[in-house]
Amino acid sequence: MPEYARIRGSRRQLWIGAAVLFTLSAAANLASPLYPLYQQTYSMADSTMTALYASYVISCLPSLLLFGSAADAFGRKPVLSAAIGLVSVGTAMFAFDTVGVSGLFAGRVLTGIGLGLGTGAGIALMVEASPARRSWLGSTVATMSFVLGTGAGPILAGGLTEATESLTVPFFAMLGLLLCTAALVLVLRIHKPITRQRWRPTWPSVPGPMRSSFNIAAVTGLLGWAALGLFLALLPSMTESAIPQSSTLASGLIVGSVLVVSAAVQLLAPKLQPRAAQTIGLTLMGIGAALLLSSNLPSLSASTALVLMAIAALATGAGHGLSYWGANREIDVLTPSRQRAGITAALYLAFYAGAGLPAIIVGTIAIGTSLIDAIMIFTLVLLLAVIVFIPIPSLALTTVRRSRAEANTDSEARRSAGHTAWTPPQRAAPTTQPRTHPSGEPLTPFAAERE
């Protein structure tokens, strides 16, 4: 019976999936450096701004829960088309400045739903298109596309707003990119899944053998995206306090540089074991949080504070790239093909929750204190959480670099898992102790048999 698990995707499918994920994440983060300008334009209180940011996160999380597994039942192409349509409508709400504050909220909600809908389908599409000899390529390109898009959005918005002095031009430009992406998806030729399962809004289930790895990856990703969310949502305000004459372009470049560093580091990440990447990434994020706290010392000059902030951004970007790649790659290796979109959506549920935490928590704390003090309190809590969790991913770690033999075994295990979907072989269980994945989890029975 033809299924996604039994079809090797084309290189064209891989890069179209990357374009979709890049554009969706760019559109979702386009407004990041423009929040201060929207607050001035519409005379919004700090609580309203916090609610505006939270509306995107609150709509994205239920979308992942309700529609995360939809691509496993309906197919990748229809779900991606619907996601692009929703994000386009949400972007259009920002493109017309007559919609008011309620229109901004509606646009953020639609964008959040669209991104949540398209995440699992887009990543599954790319993972399935990975070449057999480079099974890591799909997950690596997926994480890089998502991060690069998240960084390109603020840079595009800051640059176009600075050049045109208009809040609507960046969103019209993004509508053009979304239209081009929709055209690519429509001409993409991929097989529809023929399955007996029916889609229904349920919490994605994680197979028992991979539950421990999933929990570790989810917490690592949550901390990584919380560190990144601190820069995405709040760094423009911090930069404005350190440099009163800063522009939207400067804010966009600082925010975007964190994500560009994250994406660049992921080019080197496949040389590491997934658990090693998570451990090293958490360590770098701890260093970044410590430097960000140090930049707020009253005895420092504005230039010194800015330098510390820039170094903190680089460390956080590198740490996020490694931890995000390690968490995503580990789950990609262990996930059964028939459940790929659903489990990926469950993992990204933790990622999006982490990205939304800083703005919501800081906005709540800022009700009783200043914004900068609230940011520092959150940063301190994040630093402590990272320090406590750093040893966890490495508890089962045995090696750091992947050997060539392990890489070949990984490719064989992926091809085998695609045909067996976690079904034990029809013969007596071996008497020897089963081999384990480098992350510490037991291999599937079929992969263990091949070993």
H, E, C per residue of the chain = CCCHHHCCCCHHHHHHHHHHHHHHHHHHCCCHHHHHHHHHHHCCCHHHHHHHHHHHHHHHHHHHHHHCCHHHHHCHHHHHHHHHHHHHHHHHHHHCCCCHHHHHHHHHHHHHHHHHHHHHHHHHHHHHCCCCCCCCHHHHHHHHHHHHHHHHHHHHHHHHHHHHCCCCHHHHHHHHHHHHHHHHHHHCCCCCCCCCCCCCCCCCCCCHHHHHHHHHHHHHHHHHHHHHHHHHHHHHHHHHHHCCCCCHHHHHHHHHHHHHHHHHHCCCHHHECHHHHHHHHHHHHHHHHHHHHHCCCCCCCHHHHHHHHHHHHHHHHHHHHHHHHHHHHHHHHHCCHHHHHHHHHHHHHHHHHHHHHHHHHHHHHCCCCCHHHHHHHHHHHHHHHHHHHCCCHHHHCCCCECCHHHHHHHHHHHHHHHHHCCCCCCCCCCCCCCCECCCCCECCHHHHHHC
For residue 442, pLDDT beyond 60: no
Q: Which residue has the higher pLDDT, 408 or 50?
A: 50
Q: Which residue has the higher pLDDT, 136 or 283?
A: 283
Percentage of the chain beyond pLDDT 70 is 74
Length of the chain, please? 451
pLDDT band at 180 (very low <50, low <70, confident <90, very high): very high
For residue 362, pLDDT beyond 90: no
- Average pLDDT (242-255) is 61
For residue 437, pLDDT beyond 60: no
Q: Which of 169, 441, 214 is nearest to 350 (CA)?
A: 214
Of 64-78, 185-199, 201-215, 222-236, minimum mean pLDDT range = 185-199
pLDDT of residue 241: 60
Whether residue 277 contacts residue 323, with contact meaning beta carbons closer than 8 Å, is answered with yes
- Average pLDDT (271-280) is 91
pLDDT band at 244 (very low <50, low <70, confident <90, very high): low
pLDDT of residue 432: 46
For residue 263, pLDDT beyond 50: yes
- Average pLDDT (7-12) is 63
Q: Which of 37, 59, 39 is nearest to 48 (CA)?
A: 39
For residue 431, pLDDT beyond 50: no
Place of tokens 């504005």: 302
Q: Which residue has the higher pLDDT, 428 or 227?
A: 227
For residue 123, pLDDT beyond 90: no
pLDDT band at 76 (very low <50, low <70, confident <90, very high): confident
pLDDT band at 245 (very low <50, low <70, confident <90, very high): low
Q: Which of 247, 449, 224, 241 is nearest to 353 (CA)?
A: 224
Cα–Cα distances in angstroms (integers) from residue 205 to residues 69, 235, 350, in the given order: 10, 36, 14
**Model's pTM, two decimal places?**
0.70
Mean pLDDT of the chain: 77
Name 99's Cβ contacts closer than 8 Å, sequence gap at least 6. 93, 106, 107
For residue 383, pLDDT beyond 90: yes
For residue 342, pLDDT beyond 90: no
Q: What CA–CA distance (Å, rounded) separates 343 from 363?
A: 31
Angle at 255 between CA 250 and CA 259, to 5 degrees: 135
Q: Which range is most confident: 65-69, 225-229, 280-284?
A: 280-284
